[in-house]
């Protein structure tokens, strides 16, 4: 059973929570359940209840990989997704499916008996069925505090490291109902874990090696914590020896006495090691040092066997005579002759997410060094990858006709996207940090100020005019005859571009460290990345004399904004913040969602919002606040709610339409989660008497379908 909620503002200020507030601690969200696609599984409290994630294309850099021990299949974590790869011919691997899309970032994965266990960041532990007879499916989730980073499964227990410095033990006997049964607090961030016998060995990133007695899983005991060096990334254990890899050193630790371990050998490496594995008497390490193979039959005297500088990776998995390496790309290497490991094949992975632009059913997503990815978003619940094009370092993008313009500091590429499956670079220009195209002109801003290009021939952009900015131009929007520029030193800069060959100063409004800008009607909305920044609202009815009207302070670092009146959608660190700007002097935050990773780009299109984040790719969010078109989000019935008057004083009337049940109950909660009023909808409208309640924000919940509405003054 799901729920329907909306906010009710009573006779006073709308007290919307900031991104630093976890709703579960303020409105008792643990009593609610949220839909996760086809699985009615509980999710962590990372939303404001009137905004939810509906889908995404979450692929990015890889930080995890696992090999199927029964079939020639590899599972490659890629941002918030996992690719299932057929490796029956390791020279010609191919992606079988990309349907494993998690709610967080797949930092760690572990395969056991047709099940994939995913350490999914703030989303906790996910369990997926990956048997040969059916498509992958999410069958269970354990909501864990903190940030799940790695996982090791032994029998019916999953051991999950938490970046808050905790080892968590989860009972997975029933994979549909995993439950945490014990945990142990550590000195620093728990980065990696392996289990041997009755002990778990944890690589603590800042401290060293922890040894935890797990003989009683409900009450694990930390027997020892050994201080080693710095940045300990991985651990592997054989017999009475633990091998701990860090950024330049392999520590060999004697763990014969689990309560008194000691470092028996400090073995200096040529470069950074991110991962370590033991197979018999052989140790494998990878990282910036490439792939290094050592004979450790004598743990105190590691002997180099083989090395390949080109096989660096974030993580790897050994399977027989091959090793699966994942990082910027997924590669398979032959290690049948350990003295000469060599690559057999490479599958390109998406890179770190930066900007995006959405037009109709096509999204262009920039991935830094990995170029431009085109994504079909005609079905926002399940976006599909189209073509990919290697470009200059891609941080920003705009679409104009059948061309996408992609740029970064190093240059600007013109990409033909007339066939989204085969995009191709057709032209070049100098670098930029923000782009806007209109008609036959492209407007680019960056360290060199504003440059206007004639793009009547897209293959040969020709600079026709320029304008020096006080600082660095980070973003630009054009509403002819004016360009509105986010300048990181002076705020909003307005430039008259009626003559492209001679752009002229028009006006300026201080908006802190401006990184993002959008314009809607006579208002400009500026994202201020400064520590106490947020969203600025500027009246630009007279571009020669812009007037700063108001600001919404948002925790984090607001770096991008997309406006669709009366709302503005702000990317601020790991938060998507929704601001009601109907009162431009007092913009008010009315919704938010915590992204799995840092958001760099945001675009409101139709009734969804798209974001592009560093390690979690493109995410798609839906909110009843978003009304800029008409995407059909699946076949769910559209439940609508309305409250009049708004704000309410003594009484308000709540109208609910589109419900699929008779006489739903209405529960009214205050901001602390306390139930303050109950009523029942016996007709189309329920009247709530609220004169006994204090001014503030209240949440109304029904026990049927989930929907939401924000009522503000």
Q: Measuring CA to CA, which residue among 5, 30, 9 is closest to residue 702?
A: 5
Q: Please list the ranges in the chain whose pLDDT falls under 70.
A: 1-49, 606, 624-643, 646-647, 656-665, 667, 669-675, 681-683, 696-713
What is the distance in angstroms between the CA of the first residue and the CA of the last residue of the chain?
32
Q: What is the pLDDT of residues 66-97, one digit of tens each?
A: 999 899 999 999 999 999 999 999 999 999 99
Alpha-carbon distances of 425 from 354, 412, 421, 438, 454, rounded to whole Å: 19, 10, 13, 20, 17
22: left (phi over 0), alpha (psi -120 to 50) or beta: beta
* Number of Cβ within a 10 Å radius of residue 428: 14
**Order of strands, sheet of 249-254, starting from the edge strand that comes earlier in the sequence:** 232-238, 241-246, 249-254, 262-268
The CA distance from 511 to 514, in Å, is 6
Residue 414: its pLDDT value, please?
Answer: 97
The domain 356-622 having CATH identifier 3.30.590.10: the answer here is no
Backbone φ and ψ for 706, nearest 5 degrees, come out as -85, 125
The CA distance from 21 to 369, in Å, is 35
Domain residue ranges of the chain, discontinuous segments joined by +:
4-50+641-702, 356-622
Q: Which residues of 664-682 are buried (b: 16+ CB within 10 A; e: fewer)?
A: bebbbbbbebeeebebebe
The CA distance from 108 to 146, in Å, is 15
* CB within 8 Å of 41: residues ≥ 6 apart: 138, 140, 141
The CA distance from 270 to 97, in Å, is 37
Please give the model's pTM, rounded to 2 decimal places: 0.85
Contact indicator for 680, 656 with CB cutoff of 8 Å? no
The CA distance from 355 to 559, in Å, is 11
Q: What is the pLDDT of residues 536-559, one digit of tens each?
A: 999 999 999 999 999 999 877 999
Residue 225 corresponds to which tokens in the numbers above? 């914590």
Contact indicator for 57, 618 with CB cutoff of 8 Å? yes
- DSSP states of 675-703 as a string? EEEEEE-SSSEEEEE-TTSPSEEEEEEES
Residue 607: strand pairing partners = none
* CB within 8 Å of 454: residues ≥ 6 apart: 440, 441, 461, 462, 464, 500
In 497-598, where do the E strands start and end?
504-509, 514-520, 523-528, 534-539, 547-552, 558-564, 567-572, 575-580, 588-594
Contact indicator for 169, 178 with CB cutoff of 8 Å? no
Alpha-carbon distances of 347 from 90, 375, 695, rounded to whole Å: 11, 18, 57
**The CA-based dihedral angle spanning residues 689, 692, 696, 701, taken in that order and rounded to the nearest 10 degrees:** -40
In 197-312, where do the E strands start and end?
199-204, 208-213, 221-227, 232-238, 241-246, 249-254, 262-268, 275-279, 282-287, 290-295, 303-308
Residue 40: its pLDDT value, please?
Answer: 45
**Order of strands, sheet of 608-613, starting from the edge strand that comes earlier in the sequence:** 52-57, 617-622, 608-613, 599-605
Q: Measuring CA to CA, which residue among 316, 310, 301, 203 is closest to residue 261?
A: 203
In 614-674, where do the E strands start and end?
617-622, 640-644, 651-657, 665-669
Q: Measuring CA to CA, which residue among 113, 110, 176, 116 is closest to residue 142?
A: 176
Residue 77: its pLDDT value, please?
Answer: 97
- DSSP states of 61-81 as a string? S---EEE-SSSSEEEEEETTE
């Amino acid at each position: 059973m799901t729920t329907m909620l909306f906010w009710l503002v009573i006779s006073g200020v709308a007290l919307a929570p900031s991104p630093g507030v976890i709703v579960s601690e303020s409105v008792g969200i643990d009593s609610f359940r949220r839909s996760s696609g086809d699985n009615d599984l509980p999710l962590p409290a990372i939303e404001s209840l009137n905004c939810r994630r509906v889908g995404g294309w979450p692929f990015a850099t890889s930080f995890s990989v696992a090999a199927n021990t029964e079939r020639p299949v590899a599972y490659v974590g890629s941002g918030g997704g996992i690719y299932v790869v057929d490796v029956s011919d390791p020279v010609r691997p191919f992606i079988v499916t990309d349907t494993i899309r998690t709610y967080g970032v797949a930092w760690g994965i572990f395969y056991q008996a047709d099940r994939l266990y995913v350490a999914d960041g703030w989303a906790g532990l996910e369990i997926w069925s990956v048997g040969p007879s059916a498509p992958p499916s999410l069958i269970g989730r354990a909501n864990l505090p903190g940030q799940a980073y790695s996982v090791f499964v032994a029998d019916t227990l999953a051991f999950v490291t938490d970046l808050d410095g905790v080892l968590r033990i989860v009972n997975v006997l029933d994979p549909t109902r995993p439950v945490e049964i014990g945990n142990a607090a550590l000195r620093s961030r728990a980065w990696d874990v392996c289990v041997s016998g009755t002990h778990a060995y944890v690589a603590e990133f800042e401290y060293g090696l922890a040894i935890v007695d797990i003989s009683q899983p409900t009450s694990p005991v930390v027997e020892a914590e050994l201080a080693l060096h710095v940045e300990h990334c991985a651990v592997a254990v054989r017999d009475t020896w633990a091998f701990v890899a860090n950024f330049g050193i392999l520590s060999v630790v004697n763990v014969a006495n689990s309560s008194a371990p000691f470092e028996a050998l400090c073995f200096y490496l040529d470069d950074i090691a991110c991962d370590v594995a033991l197979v018999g008497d052989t140790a494998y390490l990878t990282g910036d040092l490439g792939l290094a193979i050592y004979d450790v039959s004598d743990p105190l005297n590691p002997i180099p066997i083989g090395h390949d500088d080109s096989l660096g990776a974030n993580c790897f998995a050994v399977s027989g005579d091959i090793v699966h390496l994942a990082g910027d790309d997924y590669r398979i290497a032959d290690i049948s002759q350990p003295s000469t490991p060599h690559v057999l094949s490479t599958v390109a992975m998406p890179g770190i997410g930066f900007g995006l632009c959405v037009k109709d059913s096509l999204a262009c997503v920039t991935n830094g060094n990995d170029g431009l990815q085109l994504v079909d978003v005609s079905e926002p619940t399940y976006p599909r990858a189209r073509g990919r094009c290697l470009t200059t370092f891609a941080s920003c993008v705009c679409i104009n006709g059948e061309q996408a313009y992609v740029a970064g500091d190093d240059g600007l590429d013109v990409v033909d996207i007339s066939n989204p499956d085969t995009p191709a670079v057709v032209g070049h220009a100098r670098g930029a940090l923000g782009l806007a195209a209109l008609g036959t002109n492209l407007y680019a801003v960056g360290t060199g100020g504003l440059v206007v290009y004639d793009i009547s021939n897209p293959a040969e952009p020709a600079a026709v005019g320029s304008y020096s900015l006080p600082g660095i131009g980070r973003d630009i929007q054009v509403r002819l005859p004016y360009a509105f520029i986010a300048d990181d030193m002076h705020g909003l800069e307005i430039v008259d571009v009626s003559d492209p060959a001679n752009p002229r100063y028009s006006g300026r409004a201080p908006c802190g460290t401006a990184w993002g800008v959008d314009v809607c009607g006579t208002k400009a909305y500026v994202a201020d990345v400064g520590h106490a920044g947020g969203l600025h609202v500027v009246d630009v009815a007279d571009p020669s004399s812009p007037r700063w009207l108001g600001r919404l302070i948002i925790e984090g670092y607001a770096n991008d904004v997309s406006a669709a009146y009366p709302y503005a959608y702000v990317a601020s660190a790991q938060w998507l913040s929704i601001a009601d700007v109907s009162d431009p002097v007092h913009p008010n935050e009315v919704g938010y969602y915590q992204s799995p990773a840092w958001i760099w780009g945001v675009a409101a299109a139709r009734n969804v919002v798209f974001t592009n984040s560093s390690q979690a790719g493109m995410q798609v969010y839906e909110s009843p606040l978003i009304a800029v078109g008409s995407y059909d989000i699946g076949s769910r019935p559209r439940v609508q709610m309305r409250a009049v008057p708004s704000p309410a004083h003594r009484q308000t009337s709540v109208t609910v339409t589109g419900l699929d049940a008779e006489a739903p109950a209405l529960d009214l909660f205050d901001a602390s989660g306390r139930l303050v009023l109950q009523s029942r909808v016996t007709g189309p409208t329920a009247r709530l008497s609220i004169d006994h309640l204090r001014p503030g924000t209240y949440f109304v919940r029904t026990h049927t379908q989930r929907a939401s509405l924000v009522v503000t003054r």
